[in-house]
Structures are given as structure tokens and as C-alpha cells.
């Protein structure tokens, strides 16, 4: 299993870190020779105190080759949360510590942290994207201002072997939490979908997976099997009627093709399309746990949103 070193890439999310309260005590930032503005805090007995960084941190050399577990959060100049490892991943990120080849970037900032330390780092957007992300600054971030703030809390320093074991444990715990959440959310979604069916006077059938389907026009062909390629015309909407996608918009009016049952589409499609005969037109009502779940999808599909798809199984190959 590969250690997670991709935390440098931003993803939209929501959440806060408890270490954010550290900043309230002292608004002033120190600055490293490489230009990083920082506030560093160490914890003793559950209380945080301001920490200074030596001009040369020789101790970092002893940490090279090891892995640091971090809770991290990115914020825009307007204090909007861009990414939170606690909220978006549910686990710390695992960062392999390497020789510093670039000064003034995130790697340089992380080198200041010892296990148990918390830090607040403030970067110029152009500088941090050039040095650490190596991609252009997203326009929406520029609009918020030319500053990005990173909150980080170092939880544990490990060897690579220890980190592999730790990550496997964290993933197992996270998987259990996700399964428990999905089980409860499925029950909530079922109540919502039943209410939707009743209000819209639909004659729906329910699959064991939790999907409801309404056949508008029964096809005469065979039902597709896992691994077969299917062609599908579709329109996807939220239950309030807002359209978020369709084959008409995204595929020029042509049906999309995909192999069934191999995970190339959301689980609700793999399960729902398999219920239909070739030539069938139907409505699939899919619980959020078989769609985009807790994370949603972009700005159009909120978290925990049950979805409606009007589909036609055009062909089975």
C-alpha cells in the first residue's frame, strides 16, 4: 500500500481543526529565512504554548527517511476552508520526510514540525503554487486574495514500516465508520424516496439494494450481465427536479457506453441498469449511498443526495 503523500493537492471540502484556536492568542507571525510566515506551538499537558524555531534545525536531518502523520487544513485569504484531512479523509495524512530541495514551500514548513507540534503557515499564493503544487493558481482562489493559510498538527513520527501498518489500521477503522454511516443513511434515504414516490404517484418497484425503479416502457430484449457493454441514454436530476447531467449535454445526444458491473459508474447504475431489459425506458431512484455519498459531486450534487435518473437501455453488447 502506497503512503499518502498527495495532500499537497487541494480539494474542496468543509471542516475545522481544533488547532485553529491557537492563533487567537497571538496574531503575530514569525518568518523563516526562506520567507515562510509561521506560528508554531508545542503542547504540554494539553496546553499550547508559542514555540520559536532555531535558525538551523539540525534535528530535521535525523527525521529524514521517516514518515510524519499530520492533520492538515487549507484556507483562502477569506478564511474559507479548501481542504481538511479530518473532514475529507477522516484520518491524518502520511508524509514521507525527504531532503529539502525547495525552500519556502510546504515541505519546508512541515520540516519545522516535531511530533506534537501545531503550526499555522501563511503563504503567498503565487509562491506556494509555483514551489509546491507546480500548477497555476485557480482563479477562484485569486479572487479571495493572494494568501493561503495552512493549519497543521503533527501527531506521530514513524518508520516507513510502522507507517504502513498504521495506515492500514486507520483505513480499516475508517471503512467501518463509513459502513456504519452508510447503513444509517440508507434508512434515511429510503424514507425520502418513499415520500417522493407517494407525492409523485409513481408505481415503483424496490430492489434489494435499496434502489427503486419505475418502468415507463418495457423492453423485449435480454437483461444485461456483468461485464457486458451497455448503451444508455439518460438524464440525471436531484429530487427537486434540478438537472445535473444528461447524455444530451455531455455526449452530444448519443447514448453513453460502459461495461456493466465493474465500477466504472456509480453503484446505483451498475445495480439499476442490470434490472432492465434491452429497450426498456425507466426511472431509477437511487439512494445517496449508491450514488455520491457523503462527499457529493462538485457544486451540483450535495452530500447525501438521493438521485433520479431517467434512462433508456438502448443496447447490450
pLDDT tens-place string over residues 266-293: 999 999 999 999 999 999 999 999 999 9
In a domain, 7, yes or no: no
Q: How far is CA 275 from the centre of its chain?
A: 30
Cβ neighbours of 84 (radius 10 Å): 20
| 122 and 200 both lie in a single domain | no
- Which cell numbers in the block locate residue 13? 471540502
Boundary of a domain, candidates 111, 141, 158: 158
Q: What average pLDDT score do residues 23-34 get?
A: 69
Cβ neighbours of 300 (radius 10 Å): 14
Q: What's the pLDDT score for residue 54? A: 59
| 140 and 243 both lie in a single domain | no
Q: In which band, very low, low, confident or very high, does the pLDDT at 57 lie, cut at 50, 70 and 90? A: low
| 92 and 126 both lie in a single domain | yes
Q: What average pLDDT score do residues 29-45 get?
A: 87
Q: How far is CA 279 from the centre of its chain?
A: 36
| 151 and 84 both lie in a single domain | yes
297 Cβ contact list (under 8 Å, min separation 6):
244
Specify the DSSP class assigned to residue 297: B
- Which cell numbers in the block locate residue 140? 477562484
Q: What average pLDDT score do residues 6-24 get?
A: 35
Distance CA 135, CA 310 (A): 38
Beta bridge partners of 294: none
| 66 and 150 both lie in a single domain | yes
Q: What average pLDDT score do residues 172-189 get?
A: 90
The total of structural domains in the chain comes to: 2
Beta bridge partners of 69: 94, 156
In a domain, 6, yes or no: no
Distance CA 119, CA 106 (A): 12
Amino acid at each position: 500500500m502506497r503512503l499518502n503523500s498527495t495532500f499537497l493537492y487541494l480539494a474542496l471540502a468543509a471542516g475545522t481543526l481544533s488547532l485553529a484556536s491557537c492563533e487567537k492568542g497571538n496574531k503575530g507571525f514569525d518568518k523563516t529565512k526562506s520567507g515562510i510566515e509561521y506560528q508554531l506551538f508545542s503542547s504540554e499537558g494539553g496546553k499550547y504554548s508559542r514555540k520559536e524555531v532555531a535558525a538551523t534545525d539540525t534535528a530535521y536531518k535525523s527525521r529524514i527517511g521517516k514518515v510524519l502523520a499530520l492533520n492538515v487544513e487549507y484556507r483562502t485569504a477569506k478564511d474559507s476552508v479548501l481542504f481538511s484531512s479530518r473532514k475529507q479523509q477522516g484520518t491524518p495524512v502520511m508524509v514521507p520526510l525527504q531532503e529539502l530541495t525547495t525552500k519556502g514551500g510546504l515541505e519546508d514548513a512541515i520540516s519545522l514540525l516535531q511530533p506534537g507540534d501545531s503550526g499555522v503557515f501563511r503563504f503567498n499564493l503565487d509562491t506556494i503554487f509555483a514551489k509546491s503544487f507546480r500548477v497555476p493558481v485557480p482563479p477562484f482562489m485569486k479572487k479571495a486574495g493572494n494568501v493561503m493559510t495552512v493549519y497543521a498538527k503533527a501527531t506521530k513520527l514513524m518508520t516507513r514500516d510502522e507507517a504502513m501498518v498504521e495506515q492500514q489500521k486507520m483505513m480499516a477503522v475508517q471503512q467501518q465508520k463509513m459502513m456504519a454511516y452508510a447503513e444509517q443513511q440508507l434508512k434515511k434515504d429510503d424514507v425520502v424516496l418513499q415520500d417522493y414516490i407517494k407525492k409523485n404517484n409513481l408505481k415503483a418497484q424496490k430492489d434489494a439494494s435499496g434502489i427503486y425503479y419505475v418502468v415507463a416502457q418495457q423492453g423485449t430484449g435480454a437483461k444485461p450481465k456483468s461485464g457486458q457493454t451497455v448503451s444508455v441514454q439518460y438524464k440525471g436530476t436531484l429530487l427537486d427536479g434540478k438537472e445535473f447531467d444528461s447524455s444530451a449535454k455531455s455526449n452530444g445526444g448519443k447514448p453513453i457506453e460502459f461495461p456493466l458491473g465493474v465500477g466504472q459508474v456509480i453503484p446505483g447504475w451498475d445495480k439499476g441498469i442490470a434490472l432492465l431489459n434491452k429497450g426498456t425506458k425507466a426511472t431509477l431512484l437511487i439512494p445517496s449511498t449508491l450514488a455520491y455519498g457523503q462527499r457529493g459531486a462538485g457544486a451540483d450534487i450535495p452530500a447525501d443526495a438521493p438521485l433520479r435518473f431517467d434512462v433508456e437501455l438502448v443496447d447490450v453488447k
